[in-house]
Amino acid sequence: MKNKEYLAKRDELVSFFSGDNHLKDDEKLGIQFNLVSASLLNYLPEIAFPHHEDIYKNILLHQHLSRLEESFYGALDYVTCENLNKDIRSVLRYKPSIICTFHTGSYRVINLWLTKHNIPYVLVIARNVIAAQGDRFLQSYNQLPGSHKAHSFSWIDAESPSSGLKMLREIKNGKNLLLYIDGNTGSGSNTMSNHNHLTIDFFARQIFARKGIALLAHIAHSPIITVASYRKSIADIRLRFFDPLFPDAKQERAAFAKATTQKIYNMVAPIIKAHPHQWEGWMYLHKSARITVTDEKLAGSANMKPVACERVLFNSAGFGIFKIEDNAFLFQKNNYRFYPVNKSLYHLLSGCMLQPVSRKNIESGLFSLLYAKKVLVSV
């Protein structure tokens, strides 16, 4: 009966997100889509802009599927583990480890899998996630059958000043730690403004990544087991395990943290690239993006040359336009910059998104500026 309920709700979500979700009519979704589009442009520029909207819709779908599946034990019937060899099983069961995962695919099914296999673990998550979803985590855990009752479910507030000591204590007590290295929508301040970060390569650019997982492993002398979820199809959920990373006590801690954090991202990057529509991280990558392009102001130049074109369109691949309540903004994707615009310019640019506009309908100086900045492009 439970499986029938799960399948019905899963299919309902797939049906909903395959339709028109009116992104342009929803203020919040419109802003979020532009941020996702900007990150795809910066980090996976080979994906053409016309595909961005479908990717975003599927990110929303997988986010909802993940939340659904954490509440249904039967979802494990659709899970296949990859590279889960006897060595990884042995480490998980007999040597307290740091399980490092990402917000990919059905990213919460790992909780069910650990519980089913009676592997004791503590979940390390952000404070506002605990406040919003902690009761649901506990309820889902208590509904699961089996011998896991020997281990109580618990979590650690990742933002607590004492979180590091609590994590070390749990490892000493024989429990694994489950952490998401790629942050989440409720992670608070930008990663780049946090002292607990380092710069790593990520696809076409760089990001500021959290180094705490690698540092903790070095301090606790605990291995890191990276695992990532992805779907081969809607009914085929995969958990791919990667070979453990063991800390080297002889290696300087900061060097180990940087090298190991880069290795972790390198492991999972091919999954994200192959299934970009399954990584929730595109929604908040702007918080940790390291962008080095020149910050060009939208200011005019007295020496602009005449432009030889008759009709133009809004450059949706490079810019976004949206409103927050009564305030309108132009969004430059390559550097994540927002520029306030007046209502007149907002309506002009919005109109240029829908169909080509004659340059004769735009004031000459304004046209030259927008064309020079590539906000408008010729048809």
Side-chain half-sphere CA neighbours of 365 within 13 A:
6
Quote the pLDDT of residue 115. 87
Among 259, 279, 299, the domain boundary falls at 279
Quote the pLDDT of residue 299. 45
Comparing C-alpha atoms, which of 81, 165, 150 is closest to residue 120?
Answer: 150
Residue with tokens 């006590």: 249
151-165 pLDDT, tens per residue? Answer: 566 889 888 888 899
- Residues 264 and 317 both lie in one domain: no
170-179 pLDDT, tens per residue? Answer: 999 999 999 9
Quote the pLDDT of residue 141. 61
Quote the pLDDT of residue 220. 95
User: Is residue 10 one of the residues assigned to a domain?
Assistant: no
The answer to whether 207 touches 269, Cβ cutoff 8 Å, is: no
- Residues 255 and 330 both lie in one domain: no
Quote the pLDDT of residue 154. 81
The number of folded domains in the chain is 2
Whole-number Å distance between alpha carbons of 302 and 48: 34
Mean pLDDT for the chain?
A: 87
| Cα dihedral 250, 255, 258, 262 in deg (nearest 10) | -60
pLDDT tops 70 at residue 338 = yes
Whole-number Å distance between alpha carbons of 131 and 371: 47
- Residues 234 and 356 both lie in one domain: no
Whole-number Å distance between alpha carbons of 152 and 115: 10
- Residues 347 and 222 both lie in one domain: no
pLDDT tops 70 at residue 186 = no
Q: 267 or 250, which is more confident? A: 267
- Residues 372 and 320 both lie in one domain: yes
What one-letter code names the amino acid at 16? F
User: Is residue 63 one of the residues assigned to a domain?
Assistant: no
Q: Which of 157-171, 193-207, 282-296 shows the lowest mean pLDDT across its residues?
A: 282-296
- Residues 223 and 317 both lie in one domain: no
Among 258, 279, 300, the domain boundary falls at 279
Q: Average pLDDT of 343-362?
A: 92
The answer to whether 58 touches 13, Cβ cutoff 8 Å, is: no
- Residues 248 and 343 both lie in one domain: no
The answer to whether 30 touches 23, Cβ cutoff 8 Å, is: yes
Quote the pLDDT of residue 301. 45
User: Is residue 1 one of the residues assigned to a domain?
Assistant: no
- Residues 246 and 355 both lie in one domain: no
Which residues constitute the domain of residue 326? 311-378
Q: Average pLDDT of 22-49?
A: 90
User: Is residue 9 one of the residues assigned to a domain?
Assistant: no
Quote the pLDDT of residue 314. 96
Quote the pLDDT of residue 190. 46
- Residues 227 and 334 both lie in one domain: no
User: Is residue 4 one of the residues assigned to a domain?
Assistant: no
Q: Angle at CA 105, nearest 5°, toward 319 and 277?
A: 25
Quote the pLDDT of residue 228. 98
Among 279, 299, 331, the domain boundary falls at 279
User: Is residue 215 one of the residues assigned to a domain?
Assistant: yes
pTM of the predicted structure, to 2 decimals: 0.89
- Residues 103 and 230 both lie in one domain: yes
CATH number at residue 185: 3.40.50
Comparing C-alpha atoms, which of 177, 179, 211 is closest to residue 194?
Answer: 211
User: Is residue 256 one of the residues assigned to a domain?
Assistant: yes
pLDDT tops 60 at residue 150 = no
Q: Average pLDDT of 134-163?
A: 68
Instruction: For residue 309, name the pLDDT band (cuts at 50, 70, 90).
Output: confident
- Residues 270 and 342 both lie in one domain: no
User: Is residue 118 one of the residues assigned to a domain?
Assistant: yes
Instruction: For residue 192, name the pLDDT band (cuts at 50, 70, 90).
Output: very low
SS3 percent helix, strand, coil of the chain, rounded to 5, is: 45, 20, 30
- Residues 145 and 260 both lie in one domain: yes
Quote the pLDDT of residue 138. 62
Quote the pLDDT of residue 34. 95
pLDDT tops 90 at residue 25 = no
Q: Average pLDDT of 132-161?
A: 66
